[in-house]
Chains A and B, each alone.
Chain A
């Protein structure tokens, strides 16, 4: 029995480990790349601890405007979606029951329609309208922010409506009647009775709407016009080549998310605690000598505290720490390594020439064992010459990094080394 239990436990532990590494592994790796100094995001080999990518990030105008646009679009979407969603949910709970099913289908449809279609239709519709009204190409109806908010809200409002519906189903319509009976106007009954009841749902709908808007790409890609959002900028960046400042951005977002989630958890627990024993909580809080009350029974609060301290410490450390010396060391090491490799290859060439010299100027080469794979490869990729030997078979040889990489890589200047052959060592050539 006991050993069986142990086996079970081990399997369970293994399963959990795999599950969580699947879930969190990519995020952790990405987080690490944000602090590693190489110009292409990678976690290994570890070179130097650096915070420069955060600086690069904050100096990246496009990312920053993208972020700003995302925030504007997000806020607009939150307002529009929450209002529309609430209106829809109220309609659904109070409308003539025979129409309810039809109305529900219509309102819920945008969730089922692909975002791409919503984006295109938004663009086409407002463009047509714009033309019909005889407005110019840069009128308000063509404004990227306006279109993006409208496009995203078409389906985000439906999400919000579902949130409100769930809450409204638990609302006792008798309460509204009671308010009316006591002399409240319809507006007062809505404001003083229904809205307070819906407050938690409004908060979750707003968060949901903001997150959905922030991460949206499909719809936005058609509507952004002159105001690319963060996701659009990121997608474009990936196309032109990325550096770890993207990881830095992602890391920041992840940390903010965790921070918000934990804060939420803490306040939630405090509320529960207060509900469970109203008097004792206030007593605990009044006590100045003990640990603050909410910390004692609340692991989430401790996590929050640790996170905050960690953040402050990191910022403090980053402002004093400079990775320059480390970088110099790494550069030296690299140069030495390259030097060695160049030497090695030179010697190889020399060796080859010497071999040829001894065996005569036979074009077809007596050394067939060496030539065969070379010519085979050459026939398959006729462009070899143009790419400055990047695809020379030797490049595929893991044990022989080639010296040309630093000097001849054609993409290096324009594309920030992304396609430098060293980066491709593991996967082989991809570019064509």
Chain B
């Protein structure tokens, strides 16, 4: 099925003067995969993409596309097409000319170009709009034209730089499924950049999470969410309650953490932290809001936390409960909406519990800033 070719970055460093924008990136992307780079603004995502498409050379390391080292090969000779963060449609060309630009530079005749452009216009549901100028299209339509223009070049690897960031929520969700469908249909490798974690998780086969030029973790979406390898990934992807403390004891894949404010709590040690975590080390423990629930009894236990309900928020499928634990520790709990009227617990003190399997502990490190 896979027409796409693999891409790999081998020990890639990219520097602007003294500033290191990308540090020691090692990535292996399989042909035909949908691969995402996820990270906060300014972490070097665009920089990586530009080095793959050939607009800047890595200061060190190799970029290999389809088994070929790309060093010294210009952007117009690489089998990649980039969808720019700002789309970069040619403002003076009509929509169909934009789409067929890659054919024009190959010297294809007008009639053939028009025909191919019309096919692609059908595909992106813009039939009959080929004679407009880009400025006469809506944001979502421009987006689709940019995608069609890149696909028209028949690249082996399509690079997308936050192509949906300018769209409103509804259109973004629609375009997500559409992009995924297109990717499955044409079967080429997609490298997708986003700072929206749900976008990355829903669309991708694999996600690389970046922090200030460093790739923290590369995995499939579920692993990233359930088994983050660093405190940064744990706090950046999805929401998490963080408990700081020290490792008190270790028993197999479980550790007892003596937290600073919430007593001793039991937690699972994920694969990535196994062996690196020793008794007495500074640690961070993470419990997802949806892993918390109201305890059946108030007895003290190493999977119980007491807290005061500050606020409640109804969010459709979930209730979000904001609590304050001992020493002013803020926590969030998400309860599934069961369709029954719920008694407000605002102001009351609750004992919360969690399954120790759903809590993870990692060596202390940097968190994603809110």
State the majority secondary structure of interface residues on A: helix
Return chain A residues, CB-CB under 8 Å to B104: 192
Q: Taking each of A175, A180, A181, which has the highest tally of chain B beta carbons within 10 Å of its own beta carbon?
A: A181
Report whether B86 and A181 are in contact in the complex, using a CB–CB cutoff of 8 Å: no
Report whether A180 and B75 are in contact in the complex, using a CB–CB cutoff of 8 Å: yes
CB of A360 within 8 Å of the partner chain:
no
Give chain A interface residues in 172-189, CB to chain B under 8 Å: 172, 174-175, 177-185, 188
Return chain A residues, CB-CB under 8 Å to B169: none
CB of A197 within 8 Å of the partner chain:
yes
Chain A, Cβ-Cβ closest to B92: A196
A interface residue count range (under 10 / 10 to 19 / 20 to 34 / 35 or more): 10 to 19
Give chain B interface residues in 58-86, CB to chain A under 8 Å: 74-76, 80-82, 84, 86
Known: A177-B55, A181-B81, A182-B101. A193 touches B90 (CB 8 A): yes
Chain B, Cβ-Cβ closest to A182: B102
A181 to B106, CA, bound (A): 13
Report whether A185 and B105 are in contact in the complex, using a CB–CB cutoff of 8 Å: yes
A193 to B93, CA, bound (A): 9
CB of B149 within 8 Å of the partner chain:
yes
Produce 1/0 per residue, A298-325, CB < 8 A to B: 0000000000000000000000000000
Chain B, Cβ-Cβ closest to A174: B88
Report whether B53 and A181 are in contact in the complex, using a CB–CB cutoff of 8 Å: yes
A196 to B101, CA, bound (A): 14
Chain A, Cβ-Cβ closest to B85: A174
Give chain A interface residues in 138-180, CB to chain B under 8 Å: 172, 174-175, 177-180
Chain A, Cβ-Cβ closest to B149: A182
Partner of B90, one of A175, A180, A181, A183: A175
Give the number of chain B interface residues (Cβ < 8 Å).
Answer: 24
Known: A181-B76, A185-B105, A192-B105. A174 touches B90 (CB 8 A): no
> Shortest Cβ distance from A199 into chain B, in angstroms?
9
Report whether A174 and B86 are in contact in the complex, using a CB–CB cutoff of 8 Å: yes
Return chain A residues, CB-CB under 8 Å to B75: 177, 180-181
CB of B153 within 8 Å of the partner chain:
yes
Report whether B101 and A181 are in contact in the complex, using a CB–CB cutoff of 8 Å: no
Report whether B84 and A178 are in contact in the complex, using a CB–CB cutoff of 8 Å: yes
Return chain B residues, CB-CB under 8 Å to A174: 84, 86, 88
Produce 1/0 per residue, B78-114, CB < 8 A to A: 0011101010111110000000011011100000000
Chain B, Cβ-Cβ closest to A172: B88
Report whether B84 and A180 are in contact in the complex, using a CB–CB cutoff of 8 Å: no
Return chain A residues, CB-CB under 8 Å to B54: 181
> Shortest Cβ distance from B107 into chain A, in angstroms?
10
Q: Taking each of A177, A185, A196, which has the highest tally of chain B beta carbons within 10 Å of its own beta carbon?
A: A177
Return chain A residues, CB-CB under 8 Å to B55: 177, 180-181
Report whether A181 and B105 are in contact in the complex, using a CB–CB cutoff of 8 Å: no
Q: Taking each of B54, B81, B90, which has the highest tally of chain A beta carbons within 10 Å of its own beta carbon?
A: B90
A407 to B150, CA, bound (A): 89
Report whether A183 and B88 are in contact in the complex, using a CB–CB cutoff of 8 Å: no
> Shortest Cβ distance from B16 into chain A, in angstroms?
12
Return chain B residues, CB-CB under 8 Å to A192: 101, 104-105
Q: Can you list 22 contacts pairing A with B, beta carbon distance less than 8 Å? A: A172-B88, A174-B84, A174-B86, A175-B90, A177-B88, A178-B82, A179-B90, A180-B74, A181-B53, A181-B55, A181-B80, A181-B81, A182-B76, A182-B81, A182-B101, A182-B105, A183-B102, A185-B105, A188-B105, A196-B92, A197-B91, A197-B92
> What residues of chain A have their CB less than 8 Å away from a CB belonging to chain B?
172, 174-175, 177-185, 188, 192-193, 196-197
7 shortest A-B CB distances, which residue pairs?
A178-B88, A182-B102, A174-B88, A184-B105, A180-B75, A180-B76, A181-B82
